[in-house]
Amino acid sequence: MKVLLRGVHLKLTDSIRAYVDEHLVSHLERFAEDEAAEIDISLVDVNGPKGGVDKECRATVSLPNLPIVHVTEAGETLFQAIDATRDRLERALQRTVDRRRDTPSEGLPQDLAANVPTY
């Protein structure tokens, strides 16, 4: 899985990168078995030095043959926002995968099925 991580109005330290890898990316790898899968993570400090509940984690997950899933969560700390994003992304991706599995497959169209030789 390709991981794009960026910081907006904040500096990404090695500890933040490690936390994102351990607490967010590693939990989502079970959904992304393909190299074409991509997760774009933006860590944002909305208010800057003013403080408040202004740390956001925005994640967009693109998986082959599935719709794109986008989640934004805010928290007092960056770590709370990352954990909340992980929880919502896991639920959203599981729901998306379950919907794909529940879609009935018609198999071959009737006109093609008639021309398939049986052995």
Confidence category of residue 118, pLDDT binned at 50, 70, 90: low
Tell me, what DSSP letter sits at residue 21? I
Q: What is the pLDDT of residue 103?
A: 65
Q: What is the pLDDT of residue 89?
A: 94
Identify the residue with better confidence: 45 or 111: 45
- Measured between its terminal Cα atoms, the distance across the chain in Å is 41
* Structure confidence by residue, pLDDT tens digits, 77-115: 999 999 999 999 999 999 988 887 776 666 555 555 555
Count of beta carbons in the 10 Å neighbourhood of residue 3: 17
Residue 116 has pLDDT above 80, yes or no: no
Residue 2 has pLDDT above 80, yes or no: yes
The pTM for the full model equals 0.79
Average the pLDDT over 47-55 and give the result. 80
Confidence category of residue 5, pLDDT binned at 50, 70, 90: very high
Could you tell me the residue ranges of all domains in the chain? 2-87
Average the pLDDT over 35-51 and give the result. 87
- Identify which of 72, 70, 38 has the alpha carbon closest to the alpha carbon of residue 58: 72
Q: What is the pLDDT of residue 65?
A: 84
Q: What is the CATH number of domain 2-87?
A: 3.30.160.100
Cα–Cα distance measured from residue 119 to residue 103, given in angstroms and rounded to the nearest whole number: 30
